[in-house]
Amino acid sequence: MLKLYFTHKTRSGRVVWLLEELGLEYELVKLEFSKEGLKSEEHRKRHPLGRVPVLEDGDVTIFESGAIIDYILERHKNGGLKPAVDAPEFPYYLQWFHYVEGMIMPPINEIVVQTVLLPPERRSEDALNKALKLLAKAMKPVNEALEGKDYIVGDFSGADIMLGHAAFMANLSVPFGDDMPNLKAYVARIAARPAFDYAINLK
């Protein structure tokens, strides 16, 4: 059975969300967001940096949320929730899927570091402001791409698992304003999906 190493309020929620959308059976191993929970010798054998998510499937142990999502879609869902390689949507599916960790998550990581993870005396307002500006810049093309659409590429897909989770998290830190109406509606649409609601509230 698939085994997912999970920590509340992290990218491991993406994988729970996907598994729930697909109705796949899985075992959940909950780890605390702490040195003891994530940096143990045992967990570092699964992920060299001691991070989540990690998925085990028989003798496969795989990390990186995007890789895990693609792995599940290929090995356990026969390409479901993903356009066919020769479909016109396919290149854009790949583009938005990878845009999330490549362009959206770096400023979100910095915002979390500067507002939550660092002790107040080590926080930098300059670094925070730069990250907020970068995030707004990275989100603008997403808002434009969502014009007239419910999901980022055609039907609900793996790209929405990546993007929906990141957009929901971004909206928690800095709520999308009236200049991002499509993203605002998209986050509400994502939040209304029962599988997402389950995953995001799982502790």
Ligand X SMILES: N[C@@H](CCC(=O)N[C@@H](CS)C(=O)NCC(=O)O)C(=O)O
| Residue number with CB closer to ligand X (49 or 192) | 49
Q: How far is the CB of 15 from ligand X (least distance, A)?
A: 9
Contacting range for ligand X; rule: CB under 6 A; set: 22-30, 63-71, 120-128, 149-157? 63-71
Per-residue CA distances from 50 to 10, 29, 41, 42, 55 (Å)? 13, 14, 9, 9, 13
72 binds ligand X (CB under 6 A): no
Q: Exposed (0-12), middle (13-18) or buried (19+): which is 64, by Cβ within 10 Å?
A: middle
**Between 88 and 107, how does the x/- string for binding to ligand X read (CB under 6 A)?**
-------------x------
| Residue number with CB closer to ligand X (50 or 83) | 50
Strand bridging mode 26-30 / 2-6: parallel
DSSP string, 6-20: E-TTSTHHHHHHHHH
51 binds ligand X (CB under 6 A): yes
Q: Answer for the pair 23, 80: CB distance below 8 angstroms, yes or no.
A: no
Q: How far is the CB of 88 from ligand X (least distance, A)?
A: 27
Q: Which residues bind ligand X (CB under 6 A)?
A: 10-11, 38, 50-53, 64-66, 101
